[in-house]
Amino acid sequence: MHHYGPTLMGALVSAALFPFVLLAAVATALVLGYALWCSARNGQKGWFIALVIFHGIGFILGGIYLIWFRDNKRAHHSHTHADSSAA
């Protein structure tokens, strides 16, 4: 009868991978948190809800938001403000 329990090699591999898993978790939390903060600050409720619902893929979705959509509200707001002050 064979015993397939934890081995020393398995424990060493797990210990070696732990810092990378921890780094990935921290990076994901930071990117998602910053994306949530920016979307809430910019009043982008749709993005905020999407980020909360799909937090499992938050690093990817948060990165997409931060790269392509974060400044839309500010650019639109400053453009609208300039137009209304000219009138």
Q: pLDDT tens, 44-55?
A: 999 999 888 877
Do the beta carbons of residue 61 and residue 50 sit within 8 Å?
yes
Instruction: Supply the pLDDT for residue 57.
Output: 66
pTM assigned to the model: 0.55
State how far the Cα of 39 lies from the Cα of 47, in Å rounded to an integer: 6
Contact indicator for 77, 85 with CB cutoff of 8 Å: no
Between residues 63 and 56, the one the model is more confident about = 63
